[in-house]
């Protein structure tokens, strides 16, 4: 189970005197709230996934306060990138189905939004968090005193229907007929609108996403 795995890794970090620890959290911890999402939003997850990530943040906070492990929680937006054909993320599914000539299935009206960030930018954020000096990080402690938390995304929202159109365009560029788009009943626990406010990450980590969505999708497609 994920929470037990995280506990074991944090215990290993404590026993081996590891000072810096990065936890891959998610925007899903905040649930359905008015975007842009910043670190001041009170977490209210509406899915088991979001709840599990919030539990992980709490565990990191406990180790931060109890053992001086600099446990930083990075709340990633919707990540996508290479070598993800097997994944169930919306980008991976759309690209996989588009290459197969199958319909792109959207749950809901397609107007729901997400903040899509390329894996390369995610890796940059992790590197910057590890390299950031402790004084700067301590200055950025969030007001709930729950440890070190950063929203990591592009700061831009994209409608799912527009994402589908981009991938359909990539298919046509590759000589594949554009897939149909099929709208189905929305799923419970699916957040309507979500994108990150990365002001804190910009200020303290000097982070800014560099890869535009269409460019990133094209890299993944090829």
3-state secondary structure 155-173: CCCEEHHHHHHHHHHHHHH
Pick the closest to residue 68 from 24, 19, 134, 10 (CA basis): 19
Q: How far apart are CA 51 and CA 57, in angstroms?
A: 10
Residues 6 or more apart from 10 whose CB is under 8 A from it? 21, 59, 60, 63, 69, 71
Q: How far apart are CA 41 and CA 54, in angstroms?
A: 13
Can 49 be counted among the known catalytic residues? yes
**Among residues 49, 67, 107, 214, which one is catalytic?**
49
Q: How many CA atoms lie within 13 A of 103 on its CB side?
A: 8
Tokens standing for 59?
């565990």
- Write the CA distances from 66 to 12, 192, 204, integer angstroms: 15, 37, 24
Tokens standing for 158?
């994209």
Q: How far apart are CA 118 and CA 62, in angstroms?
A: 30
Active site residues: 49
């Amino acid at each position: 189970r994920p929470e037990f795995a995280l506990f074991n890794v944090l215990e290993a970090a404590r026993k081996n005197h590891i000072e810096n620890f990065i936890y891959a959290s998610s925007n899903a911890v905040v649930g359905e709230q008015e975007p842009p999402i910043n670190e001041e939003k009170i977490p209210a997850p509406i899915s088991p996934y979001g709840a599990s990530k919030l539990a992980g943040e709490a565990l990191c906070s406990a180790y931060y306060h109890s053992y001086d492990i600099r446990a930083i929680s990075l709340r990633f937006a919707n990540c996508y990138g290479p070598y993800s054909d097997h994944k169930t993320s919306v980008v991976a599914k759309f690209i996989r189905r588009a290459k197969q000539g199958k319909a792109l299935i959207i749950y809901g009206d397609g107007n729901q939004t997400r903040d899509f960030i390329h894996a390369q930018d995610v890796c940059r954020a992790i590197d910057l968090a590890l390299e950031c000096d402790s004084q700067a990080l301590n200055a950025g402690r969030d007001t709930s005193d729950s440890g070190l938390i950063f929203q990591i995304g592009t700061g831009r929202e994209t409608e799912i229907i527009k994402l589908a159109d981009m991938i359909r365009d990539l298919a046509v560029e590759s000589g594949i007929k554009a897939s149909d788009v099929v709208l189905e009943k929305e799923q419970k626990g699916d957040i309507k609108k979500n994108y990150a406010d990365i002001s804190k990450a910009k200020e303290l980590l000097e982070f800014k996403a560099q890869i535009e969505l269409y460019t990133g999708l094209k890299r993944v497609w090829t």
